[in-house]
Amino acid sequence: MILLGPSGCGKSTLLRMVAGLEDPTSGDVFIGDRRVNDVEPKLRDIAMVFQSYALYPHMTVAENIEFPLKVRGVAKAERAAAALKAADVLGLTDYMKRKPGQLSGGQRQRVALARAIVRDPAVFLMDEPLSNLDAKLRGDTRAELVDLHRRLDSTFIYVTHDQVEAMTMGSRVAVLNAGQLEQVGTPQDVYDHPASTFVAQFIGTPPMNLLQPGQLGSSDVRVGVRPEHLLIAAAGELEGTVRQVEHLGHEVLLLTESPAGRLTARVAPHADLPIVGETVRFDVAPHHLHRFDAVTGVRVP
């Protein structure tokens, strides 16, 4: 489960309430069938990975990974074996004697994960675990996490503001905005059927085009179209003037101005693309139109 939303939308707070680091002002938290509102964090059978990793700087990697077991009174040999196993899963066996200060960001991140894995919790809570990594490492670690999730077969609750992470990693995505839950669904479902204009614009790069109310519908409806669904057609219903052409290699983005508002189209790269200043017409298949209430922004059938 991915909790997705812009900064300050409450996703971390939600995670911390599941962890027991913060108390909900109202409502109940269930882990499995168990209501855990009054259960201490350590008894909730959860493990958390922090954005800053929160490794103990004075302990070696091995000691860091073993620490949760040590606290539980697991015998030395047993916890060393468990730590080694967790480290092996994450490719950390060569670094067991180092201190966190001697590791790169990605390695520290994996130590934090290993420390969570070693506890074998029912739920993993992750608070933007990739946001301190550079782009390449983030991509690699993302894949590793997905792999890990499949192998461990336990619940991950993953907080992020990065919709790419949400789309690629999530079994389900919960989109939050200003403390409100906007939508829950599979990534594809959320993408294909956004429940509100907020979700429509938050998920997808570039975001969905939202036409002015009254365009392609009645005046109390805003119509949205994904950029890839705008097809260049001489007899199209929408007309726009090309302001910019962005070549991304495998695709081209046409940024156009139109009476209906800004329209961005995602088209395949080919020879006879329109140039800046040219007027183009777009057609949209009716089933690719999304309709939202012009006032509330909520999806309408």
Partner 1 sequence: MATDIAAVNTTRGLRKVGRYSLLVFVAIVVLFPIYAVLLQALKSGPDSLDHPRSLLPVDLTFSTISEAWTQGDLGRLLMNSLFVSVMVTLGVIVTSLLAAYAFAFLEFPFKGPIFVFYIATMLVPGEVTVVFNQRTADSLGWINSYQGLIVPSLASTFGVFLVRQVFLQLPHELREAASLDGVGHLRFLWEVAAPLSRPTLGALGLFTFLGTWNAYLWPSQVIRGDRAHETIQIGLDRLKSNDISRLNLVTGGLVVAALPIFILLVVFQRQLVRGLTAGAVKG
Q: How far is the CB of 174 from partner 1 (least distance, A)?
A: 22
Residue 113 lies near partner 1 (rule: CB under 8 A) = no
30 binds partner 1 (CB under 8 A): no
Name the one range near partner 1 by CB under 8 A: 63-71, 194-202, 216-224, 241-249: 63-71
Give 103 or 210: the residue with its C-beta nearer to partner 1.
103
Name which of 125 and 223 has its Cβ closer to partner 1. 125
Stretch that binds partner 1, among 39-47, 142-150, 154-162, 194-202 (CB under 8 A): 39-47
Contact set for partner 1, span 72-101 (CB under 8 A): 72
- Whole-number Å distance between alpha carbons of 252 and 245: 7
What separation in angstroms does the CA of 245 have from each of 255, 266, 267, 273, 283? 6, 10, 10, 9, 19
Q: Out of 6, 8, 21, 180, name the contact with partner 1 by CB under 8 A.
A: 21
Compute the Cα dihedral for 63, 65, 68, 72 and give only its sign. Answer: negative
From the list 46-54, 93-101, 246-254, 279-287, the region that binds partner 1 by CB under 8 A is: 46-54
Q: Does 289 bind partner 1 (CB under 8 A)?
A: no
Angle (nearest 5°) at CA 112 between 107 and 117: 115
C-alpha span between 43 and 31 (Å, rounded): 11
**103 is an interface residue for partner 1 by CB under 8 A:** no
Cα dihedral 225→230→236→242 (10° resolution):
110
- 240 contributes a contact to partner 1 by CB under 8 A: no
Token pair 């020879």 is found at 271
Could you tell me the smallest distance in angstroms from the CB atom of residue 45 to partner 1?
Answer: 11
Locate tokens 């959860």: which residue? Answer: 46
Residues whose CB falls within 8 Å of the CB of residue 161, separated by 6 or more in sequence, listed in order: 4, 5, 6, 7, 11, 128, 131
Query: In the block, which residue shows the tokens 């882990």?
Result: 31
- Cβ-based nearer residue to partner 1, 64 or 107: 64
Strands 290-293 and 209-210, by their bridges, are: unpaired
Q: Does 122 bind partner 1 (CB under 8 A)?
A: no
> Which member of 1, 39, 54, 184 binds partner 1 (CB under 8 A)?
54
**Site of interaction with partner 1 (CB under 8 A):** 19-21, 41-43, 46-48, 50, 52-54, 56-58, 67-68, 71-72, 119
